[in-house]
Structure 1
Amino acid sequence: MTDTATAPELAGTEVPKPKIGAYHRHLLVCTGPRCSQDGASQALFDSLGDKLKAAGLNEGALRIKRSRVSCFAACKGGPIVCVQPDGTWYYNVTPANMDRIIERHLVGGQPVAPLVFHQAGQSPTGGA
């Protein structure tokens, strides 16, 4: 099989390549029913458009893309948010804590350590 510059084919039909606008970080919000049964995760996701716009993160070099995820399989302490490509996982992301994450991590570049429960590339510490 040879590598070609043409688009992949499916049953003889050319498949169009998707396009996504440029972004600096990708914010993933678990909105699964076990993460927060009271709908807090979905409400958090719904509020992000206005919060990111207010922080100037809806366009330009620091633009944040946001997506809902149906389950992270980390079903305690929600709402849970993951910042990529940083690999920083946050728990207990209340609206006030989201404001802290936006200000300190997404704008300032420094994770909010008390809210981090996992950091990609680091071994678990065994405590909270």
Structure 2
Amino acid sequence: MSDIVQPKIGNYHRHLLICTGSRCTADGQSQALYDSLGERFKAAGIQDGALRVKRSRVSCFAACKGGPIVCVQPDGTWYYNVTSDNMDRIIEQHLVGGQVVQDLVFHQGPGTGCELGEDDPA
């Protein structure tokens, strides 16, 4: 019988990944932004419940320019220049409202769940 305990994670609607690697922002701006997310998510009502957003630090996305870099999954939306003010926009418009903040997107992966300004085929 194994002594390994299976981990558990609570349900979440989206997962926000933020690069805190030194090549992304040498001044620690990404870590400070990450550290602020708990209070920001709580204030926006996405700390728990149906719209809960899980957050994780990543050591390197291999983008290395224009940081801080943030990726929202499962939407596959990659944001750059995520300043404190821009993070507020991402929280309000994307994580709460479901609409991508177009002027901050540098890549859109194969995820689903958000409109990119295109007509909804459904």
TM-score class normalised by the smaller sequence: 0.7 to 0.9
Aligned-residue offset at 1:16 = 1.9
Aligned-residue offset at 1:56 = 0.4
Q: How far, CA to CA, are the matches of 2:93 and 2:10 in structure 1?
A: 24
Contact 2:75 2:110 in 1 (8 A): no
Instruction: Write out aligned runs for 1:1-128 (5 A).
Output: 13-121=2-110
Q: How far, CA to CA, are the matches of 2:99 and 2:7 in structure 1?
A: 32
Gaps of 5+ in 1: 1-11, 123-128
Code of the residue aligned with 2:45 in structure 1: it is: G
Tell me the TM-score normalised to structure 1 length: 0.84
Q: How far, CA to CA, are the matches of 2:38 and 2:2 in structure 1?
A: 36
Number of paired residues? 111
Tell me the TM-score normalised to structure 2 length: 0.88
CA RMSD, Structure 1 to Structure 2 (Å): 1.2
Computing the radius of gyration over CA atoms, which structure comes out larger, 1 or 2? Answer: 1
Aligned-residue offset at 1:17 = 1.4
SS at match of 2:87: helix
Aligned-residue offset at 1:64 = 0.5
